[in-house]
A and B are shown apart, each in its own frame.
Chain A
Amino acid sequence: MKTSTGLVLFLGLAGGLLAFGVRGSLNGSGTDLALQFPKSGTSLGTDADVVPAKPADQPPAIATIAAPPPAAIAAPGQAETLAVPASTGPQVDETALRYFARQGDTKRLEAEIARLQALYPSWTPPADPLAVKPQPDGKLDAMWKLYSEGKYAEVRKAIAERQTADPKWQVPQDLLDRVALGESRQRLANASDLEQFATVIKIATDNASLLTCGDVDVLWRVAEAFASTGKADRAKDAYTYVLKNCKDPAERLATAQKASVVLAPREFEGLLALGGKDTSGQDEFQSLRDDLVRRTVGAAATDPSLTVAPEDVARMEELARASNLASDDSLLGWYYIGLESYEKAAQWFSQARAREDNADTAQGYALALIALGEPGKAEEIVYPWREASDNVRAVYLAAVANLLAVKPQPELDPQVLERIVPVVVQARDVPSAQQLGWYARGFNQFTTAAQWFQTALSWKADDEPSAYGLAITLQQLGRRTDVAEIKRLWKGRSQRIAELGERQPRTTIIPDPNVHQPSVDTSIETSDTGLPSRPAVRRDPQVRHDGGVPPNAALPGAAKPRPMAAPEIDPAPTRSIRRGVQVAQSGDADVGCGTTDASARASPRAALRRGWCLMDLNRPVEAVQAFELALNGGDAKARSDAAFGQALAYLRNERTDEAAIAAVKAPLSRERSITVQSAILSQRAAAFYEAGRYSETLQALDQRAAIAADRSDLMVLRGYAYFKLGRRADARRVFEALAAFGDREGLKGLGVLYQGNGSR
């Protein structure tokens, strides 16, 4: 042991000690790899120890187990199997040689010659192996044939049978050893397939001559067994052996690839140093070096505390420019995100996106753009990928919140707003809802703003900024009772809410004349369904209980002049606001609408204007009165407008019967008539449903369907009405139709149906 000059690693295996590593040979012929990976000129330890001995003293313990199984016979010049110099003149067993020669198996013949030459340097192959005339031995030939076909069991059987029949017959040891080795090879592969790694290592340990360049697969399996049993350093030894000794380029590359998975980057880098040049003078492992650079940069992208050598970054950028892989560009994008170098990140993501748009790239690009103050672009880029994962959605919502918070406030394209709202509602994203509130305030849409703040609070009751936003908005709307309620709820938790209204004069609420004022009239008539934004029917039994906001909360009323849509919020909080309106009548009744009863009285047109203004502030009770004034004094056009307005105001109050009366106070255009009638029928259907009158619900819906296009929320209502009436097939048909469009309520409805089935 003291003569070892190299690294010797010991493995405790099955009671024996196995060295696994490199050591110097004694005869000064150079340093060789011993033991597990024997090489020509080295002695081989048995299963007990690894004491190097002088070759001449070393008994050729497994010297005759020299060749790999037939499939793995090394090509000439590649015989790195072990060889032990014989101490006396060679007694060379040429049986196999002669057999292969007679079979005309040139490949195996050459391999056998190479093998014997390695084993017995003083031996010279017969000039003509066929000229050698041995005793013809047909039975032995048959055994060799079985052997060369890998039929080891049958060789064994033939041997045993012959021994029984002819006790004097001596089986060639070479044949026995080769069969045993071939079997061990199979057994090792079987154990490896079954992931019995201790068995793999034991077999390899007991059969070191399996570990040759002629059968790299075995070396890989052994390396895998080491790696899988927590012995990465031994796995590295195995890979090192291949790269130091074996020549096949494809196997070398595959070896390095396998090592790259198993080894830590630094260990792996050391291994790459064993690479040579390929035929074109290139580093044979350049592709792996590049992958290593990718791994390194990628690791730094997820863990910014890791530093990457400048040359690696440079190489990565070179790779990204040279390749067509969007993933390379993205990798750099993420790397620079980690470094907070957002401009560079954006450049790389932009390039990645030009090559291939995908969720990962869009997400990274959007993050960079948000950081660079371009949330609008970010929103646009990531919108198509928002459903890809929770992370992507989070980035999208961040873009939305940032976009809405931009100062000075931009007027967003209605299309953008329309697509933002459902995502916010579905994700119940508090920051975005809150920002929608502030955004609405920015356009003096106080009612809408209040609803968004309310919505944010319904998702997160302790969101102080939303509560503050709600409080100041209600303050502006003159709903003192509601403001007082908020103050009470937030007592001791928010200074600014507590101080609200105490020092600030309310002059700040006068709308900015530069901001485009929405035209209420248009907002109603251009709504997609031809319906006023409110009241919309929501009678989803499931949502109603959890007090949440329905997924279809974004109303389609975001017509062009109207900057944004309001969320449809829970009945309960809405009602409390309405109650506040009624109480506050005698107070700041003119807030936001800028006219007085007196002026309205003087001019029906002013009254009409005031009615619509109050409608926009969601003060329908006052609006009813304003429209009444307009009805009483106006011309036919004004009266028609007023009747329409009053009908809508009653509808918003859910005073359906009075809405029906108002609608006939003056002739309405056909379009408006249908708008009002269908809204009345919607409300009636909803009221019937709430009252448990399901047949009448269906009647109202049928009547409505006769004059207006169906809406998904009403279809949901219809589905549940069927359900309640036990018309399950009809209910299923309705819900399936909804579900076919991806409507969540439809899916929920189906769920309710199936639950109903299960509970029976």
Chain B
Amino acid sequence: MKRIALAAAALLLVSGLAQAREPTVMAGDWAAYRAKFLQPEGRIVDDANGNISHSEGQGYGMLLAYLAGSRADFDIIWAFTRNEMLLRDDGLVAWKWDPNATPRVTDPNNATDGDILIAYALALAGKEWANADYSTAALDLIQAIREAAVVEAQGREILLPGVNGFKVADRPDDGPVINPSYWIFEAFPVFARLDEGGGWDRLSRDGLAWLRQTRFGPRKLPVDWVSVRGRPVPAAGFPAEFGYNAVRIPLYLVRAGVKDVALIKGLGQGMSDGGDVVTSDIRTGNSKDRLADAGYRIIPALAACIADGTPVPAELRRFAPTNYYPSTLHLLSLSYLAQNKGAC
């Protein structure tokens, strides 16, 4: 561990000399997002969920602050995350922070996608801003994820969505259960750079394999929660739907530069319904919630652009914050477009 940390420090010494990158989240967009969702103490508020904060939101906030080039915002979001949520004995982040609970963290369980986002943002920021503290914290978290949340099932690696509650031991009937949207594919190459030999490319490959295997029903869409006890099936106790979790999968694939265009195209088409994004029942394909926010609609638009070169409509390129979640997805999408000028 010591050795690797030193290696990381050396790495960022080199990269510190490199040219600072251009922000891909525009200053105005970030200011609008920050004004609406970032509290002065450094927490990102999920305004559609009782104004709680969670590790996913903190991770997104750190990633967006990094992409916006806002070191000050990154710093306070990270400080809050570390001091208030990075408390678990195993080095992972407690997933939920509730301003109306005492203590604020009442459930020590983690959410692995939140851990991944935070570690990813830290790794990027540590390199970009030549900050050894960030890089060390990133590596600690990356290794904690590997240690506590990556296990094997049927000869493939899976990400446990949380350390508690998803393993075979926790769900004797259908465990383990995975959530395909917890694979943030763009993070794994970055993890692999800091944590050589950590097997992150394998987790990435296996994640894609699981995803290809979990497309169900007439719309051929992944379900939010999947039992991978045997042949993947929708997990018991969760709605069998392509829902708010899975809606971000095409975005993750696009941002990670995954080359499987057919997969991206299929997902984008499956989730679209008359110009809107819909959540849908996996078995019948019937639509459930109609998601009209630009932050949702830009996702199939990105997929179509990747697949067919269809330009992303101009109205989706303008950012105006709505709720925390679609606003976050929107900025991540716009950041991709900014980074790949001329691609769409």
Instruction: Name A residues whose Cβ lies closer than 8 Å to a Cβ of B.
Output: 15, 151-154, 156-157, 159-161, 163-164, 183-184, 186-187, 190-191, 193-199
Contacts and interface: CB of A to CB of B under 8 A. Distances in A.
A195 B105 CA distance: 11
A194 B41 CA distance: 20
B73 interface: yes
A190 B83 contact: yes
Interface stretch (B84-92, B204-212, B249-257, B279-287): B84-92
A659 to B, nearest CB: 67
Interface stretch (B74-82, B112-120, B181-189): B74-82
A187 B75 contact: no
A183 B86 CA distance: 12
Given A157-B40, A187-B82, 8 more contacts: A151-B41, A164-B72, A187-B83, A190-B84, A190-B105, A193-B103, A194-B87, A196-B108
Categorize the interface residue count of chain B: 20 to 34
Contacts of A197: 89
A217 to B, nearest CB: 15
B152 to A, nearest CB: 26
Nearest to A201: B89
B87 A183 contact: no
A191 B91 CA distance: 11
Contact of B80 (A153, A184, A195, A198): A153
Contacts of B71: 160, 163-164
A747 B308 CA distance: 76
B41 A153 contact: yes
21 contacts: A15-B2, A153-B41, A154-B40, A156-B75, A157-B40, A157-B42, A159-B72, A160-B72, A184-B83, A186-B83, A186-B84, A187-B83, A190-B83, A190-B84, A190-B103, A191-B87, A193-B103, A193-B105, A194-B103, A197-B89, A199-B89
Nearest to B129: A160
Given A153-B42, A154-B40, A194 B108 contact: yes
B89 to A, nearest CB: 4
Contacts of A163: 71
B14 interface: no
B111 interface: no
Interface of B: 1-2, 40-42, 71-73, 75-76, 79-80, 82-84, 86-89, 94, 103-105, 108
A754 to B, nearest CB: 31
Nearest to B69: A164
Nearest to B103: A193
A183 B88 contact: no
Contact of A198 (B42, B73, B89): B89
Given A187-B82, A199-B87, A156 B76 contact: yes
A183 B72 contact: no
A183 B76 CA distance: 11
B40 A153 contact: yes
A183 B41 contact: no
Q: 3 shortest A-B CB distances, which residue pairs? A: A160-B72, A198-B89, A193-B103
A186 B1 CA distance: 26
Contacts of B41: 151, 153-154
Contacts of A198: 89
Nearest to A187: B83
A15 B1 contact: yes
A184 B133 CA distance: 14
Contacts of B88: 194, 196, 199
Nearest to B91: A199
A15 B143 CA distance: 13
Nearest to B80: A153
Contacts of B73: 157
Contact of A196 (B42, B82, B87): B87
A198 B144 CA distance: 14
B76 A190 contact: no
A198 B83 CA distance: 15
Contact of B72 (A157, A194, A196, A199): A157
A525 B104 CA distance: 73
Nearest to A197: B89
B89 A196 contact: yes
Q: Which of B41, B73, B89 has the most CB of A within 10 A?
A: B89
Given A154-B40, A193-B103, A194-B103, A187 B76 contact: no
Nearest to A15: B1
B87 A190 contact: yes
A160 B70 CA distance: 9
Contacts of A153: 40-42, 76, 79-80
Contacts of A191: 87
Q: Which of B40, B71, B79, B82 has the most CB of A within 10 A?
A: B79
Contacts of B75: 156-157, 160
Nearest to A165: B72
Nearest to A179: B79
A183 B79 contact: yes
Contacts of B42: 153, 157
B45 to A, nearest CB: 14
A160 B79 CA distance: 13
A198 B87 CA distance: 9
B87 A187 contact: yes
A160 B78 CA distance: 13
A186 B41 CA distance: 13
A127 to B, nearest CB: 38
B77 to A, nearest CB: 9
A191 B82 CA distance: 11
A142 to B, nearest CB: 14
A154 B79 CA distance: 10
A156 B72 CA distance: 7
A398 B42 CA distance: 68
Contacts of A193: 103, 105
Contacts of A156: 72, 75-76, 79
A197 B87 CA distance: 9
Contacts of B79: 152-153, 156, 183
B164 to A, nearest CB: 14
